[in-house]
């Protein structure tokens, strides 16, 4: 697991460490880290440009320039706010033979020290002009300038980083936005940080949590997943969601709905019936994909919410809950509910997601006392207890029709196996993205192919 801390938390930890550290020591440690990564990226080439803003982020860049000069690198600095440039950093840079210029000459690498933790909004016009002219890879100091440190939101000109060197701990931006390859320089903040605000699951965490049958297990003890999805119009959603549950764990899967013949033909191992009322006992329900939003679909949703087992409500189930708030009354308050909206479904529930996806997911988790998995290139999972997981895909191949049906089936199977619902949502999202990456391998991946790659994804995360 990788923890991420908001800027407010980082600042208060930094203050406590600064109080017991010689002046300038933290900045010099940070800058030494930047210079080391710069040398690695230069690989023997010898020209570096610095874009230097008004604060300590620019100070880091100037001190890094000082270190690079001492290693024989030619370093040029553009000062975006000359009168506010970090005085000690600028003096050290000049002493070491660094040159202040109005515009960067051709260089092999650019160090972005425009703005760091105090960043607000997109790049200002003068900084944006310099950035637009760059044609060398960028090493960002702490974070790519112009990207919001706490939300990862981008609302105009910003730096695109090849690599980002950050200090002390990871911040939300490093999981929520594209920062290139992220490197962390230790500043000894650890003991002062406390628990993280956000957590990113790593593949090992997913592997460790994934249910594996033991010698005493049979098909029932591993959890039976119920799938209430699909309709005469949309049988494919039922086939994909049921298939995902079949492939995700080795417990049993029951399908109940109008697409029973289609599901039976594709997944003979699933136990299929026409209705949730005669489906038999399950340990979780997936409800919604392709279900429709008519009266009979509402009755299905109501029955599932009353069943007293964890529910993953997806797609049409979310639309029905948004359109007919009375349906919430059917819910057993003591039983976990996981909602998996994409942005438009979220909007039906609570209005626009807005630029802060973490806050949006938390708002919904709080409002509905549910685990909310807000889908997107960056998926945010918020629990009603405040736990928040984030998962950023490296590609967008999973943005394809039917992909969400697969995710809901995996999630339902993990709930049936008894996983904590926040962890179940996190593991499902991570495995889903990995399956998409493995299946795509650089080309479009239809949902049925993504589904077929699920066993490979599970094998890849499981401990050897």
List contacts with ligand NAX (CB under 6 A): 14, 18, 26-27, 30, 53-58, 60, 114-124, 127, 141-142, 146, 167
Q: Is 172 labelled as part of a ligand binding site?
A: no
* Angstrom distance (rounded) from CA 341 to CA 374: 5
Contacts 24+ apart (CB under 8 A), 380-388: 381/422, 381/425, 381/426, 381/429, 382/358, 383/421, 383/422, 385/422, 386/362, 387/199, 387/422, 388/197, 388/198, 388/199, 388/358, 388/361, 388/362
Q: Is 383 labelled as part of a ligand binding site?
A: no
Give me the least distance between CB of 417 and ligand NAX, in Å please: 42
Q: Is 355 labelled as part of a ligand binding site?
A: no
Q: Is 378 labelled as part of a ligand binding site?
A: yes
Q: Is 142 labelled as part of a ligand binding site?
A: yes
Under DSSP, is residue 113 helix (H, G, I), strand (E, B) or coil? strand
Give me the least distance between CB of 127 and K ion, in Å please: 10
The one-character DSSP state at 50 is E
If contact means CB under 5 to 8 A according to the sort of partner, which of ligand NAX, K ion, none does residue 112 touch?
A: K ion
Q: Is 120 labelled as part of a ligand binding site?
A: yes
Give me the least distance between CB of 122 and ligand NAX, in Å please: 6
Residue nearest to K ion (CB): 145
Closer residue to ligand NAX (CB): 53 or 310: 53
Closer residue to K ion (CB): 59 or 223: 59
Task: Count the neighbouring beta carbons within 10 Å of the beta carbon of residue 367.
Answer: 12
* Angstrom distance (rounded) from CA 4 to CA 379: 15
Phi-psi category of 212—alpha, beta or left, where left has phi over 0 and alpha has psi -120 to 50?
beta
Bridge-based pairing state of the strands 2-4 and 198-200: antiparallel
Closer residue to K ion (CB): 104 or 453: 104
If contact means CB under 5 to 8 A according to the sort of partner, which of ligand NAX, K ion, none does residue 124 touch?
A: ligand NAX
Closer residue to ligand NAX (CB): 176 or 229: 176
Is the Cβ–Cβ distance between 50 and 76 less than 8 Å? yes
Give me the least distance between CB of 10 and ligand NAX, in Å please: 8
If contact means CB under 5 to 8 A according to the sort of partner, which of ligand NAX, K ion, none does residue 55 touch?
A: ligand NAX
* Angstrom distance (rounded) from CA 286 to CA 265: 20
Give me the least distance between CB of 223 and ligand NAX, in Å please: 46
If contact means CB under 5 to 8 A according to the sort of partner, which of ligand NAX, K ion, none does residue 120 touch?
A: ligand NAX
Q: Is 404 labelled as part of a ligand binding site?
A: yes
Is the Cβ–Cβ distance between 287 and 229 less than 8 Å? yes
If contact means CB under 5 to 8 A according to the sort of partner, which of ligand NAX, K ion, none does residue 48 touch?
A: none
List contacts with K ion (CB under 5 A): 112, 140-141, 145
Give me the least distance between CB of 104 and ligand NAX, in Å please: 17
Which of 3, 12, 56 lies closest to 31, judged by CA?
56
Q: Is 280 labelled as part of a ligand binding site?
A: no
With a CB cutoff of 8 Å and minimum separation 6, the contacts of 364 are 339, 341, 346, 349, 350, 370, 372, 374, 382
Closer residue to K ion (CB): 112 or 356: 112
Q: Is 307 labelled as part of a ligand binding site?
A: no
Residue position matching structure tokens 């279900």: 291
Closer residue to ligand NAX (CB): 54 or 339: 54
Output the CA–CA distances (angstroms, integers) from residue 147 to 11, 279, 432, in the order listed.
18, 50, 27
Give me the least distance between CB of 74 and ligand NAX, in Å please: 23
Q: What is the DSSP string of 140-170?
A: EESS-TTB-TTT--B-S-----SEEEEESS-
Which of 260, 271, 289, 280 lies closest to 412, judged by CA?
289
Output the CA–CA distances (angstroms, integers) from residue 45 to 100, 130, 141, 164, 228, in the order listed.
20, 22, 20, 19, 60
Give me the least distance between CB of 377 and ligand NAX, in Å please: 23
* Angstrom distance (rounded) from CA 392 to CA 378: 4
Closer residue to ligand NAX (CB): 52 or 447: 52
Q: Is 3 labelled as part of a ligand binding site?
A: no
Under DSSP, is residue 341 helix (H, G, I), strand (E, B) or coil? coil
Give me the least distance between CB of 17 and ligand NAX, in Å please: 7
Q: Is 223 labelled as part of a ligand binding site?
A: no
**Residue list for the binding site for AMP:** 375-379, 404
- Annotated binding residues for K(+): 57, 112, 145
The annotated binding site for (6S)-NADPHX is made up of: 56-60, 116-122, 142, 237, 290, 342, 405
| Residues making up the binding site | 56-60, 112, 116-122, 142, 145, 237, 290, 342, 375-379, 404-405
């Amino acid at each position: 697991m990788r923890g991420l801390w908001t800027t407010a938390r980082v600042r208060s930890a930094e203050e406590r460490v600064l109080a017991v550290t010689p002046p300038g020591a933290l900045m010099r440690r940070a800058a030494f880290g930047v210079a080391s990564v710069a040398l690695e990226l230069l690989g023997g080439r010898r020209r570096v440009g610095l874009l230097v803003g008004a604060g300590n982020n620019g100070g880091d860049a100037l001190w890094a320039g000082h270190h690079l000069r001492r290693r024989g690198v030619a370093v040029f600095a553009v000062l975006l706010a000359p009168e506010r440039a970090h005085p000690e950093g600028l003096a050290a840079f000049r002493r070491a033979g660094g040159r202040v210029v109005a515009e960067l000459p051709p260089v092999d690498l650019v160090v972005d020290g425009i703005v760091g933790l105090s960043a607000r909004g997109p790049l200002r016009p003068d900084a944006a002009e310099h950035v637009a002219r760059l044609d060398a890879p960028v090493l960002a100091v702490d974070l790519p300038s112009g990207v919001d440190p706490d939300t990862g939101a981008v609302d105009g000109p910003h730096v695109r980083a090849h690599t980002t060197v950050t200090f002390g701990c990871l911040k939300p931006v490093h999981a929520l936005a594209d920062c290139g390859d992220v490197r962390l320089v230790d500043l000894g903040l650890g003991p002062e940080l406390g628990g993280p605000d956000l957590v990113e699951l790593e593949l090992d965490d997913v592997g460790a949590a994934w249910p594996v049958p033991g010698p005493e297990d049979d098909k029932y003890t591993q959890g039976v997943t119920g799938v209430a999805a699909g309709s005469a119009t949309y049988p494919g959603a039922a086939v994909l969601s049921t298939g995902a549950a079949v492939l995700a764990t080795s417990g049993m899967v029951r399908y109940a709905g109008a697409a029973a013949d289609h599901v039976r033909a594709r997944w003979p191992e699933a136990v299929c019936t026409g209705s949730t009322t005669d489906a038999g006992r399950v340990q979780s329900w997936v409800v919604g994909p392709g279900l429709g939003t008519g009266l009979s679909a509402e009755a299905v949703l109501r029955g599932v919410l009353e069943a007293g087992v964890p529910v993953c409500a997806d797609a049409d189930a979310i639309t029905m809950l948004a359109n007919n708030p009375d349906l919430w009354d059917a819910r057993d308050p003591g039983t976990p509910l996981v909602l998996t909206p994409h942005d438009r479904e979220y909007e039906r529930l609570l209005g626009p997601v807005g630029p802060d996806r973490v806050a949006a997911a938390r708002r919904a988790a709080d409002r509905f006392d549910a685990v909310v998995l807000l889908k997107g290139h960056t998926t945010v999972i918020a629990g009603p207890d405040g736990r928040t997981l984030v998962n950023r895909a490296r590609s967008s191949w999973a943005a394809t029709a039917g992909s969400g049906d697969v995710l809901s089936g995996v999630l339902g199977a993990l709930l049936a196996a008894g996983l904590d619902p926040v962890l179940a949502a996190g593991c499902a999202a991570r495995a889903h993205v990995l399956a998409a990456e493995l299946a795509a391998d650089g080309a479009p991946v239809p949902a049925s192919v993504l589904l077929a790659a699920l066993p490979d994804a599970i094998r890849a995360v499981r401990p050897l």
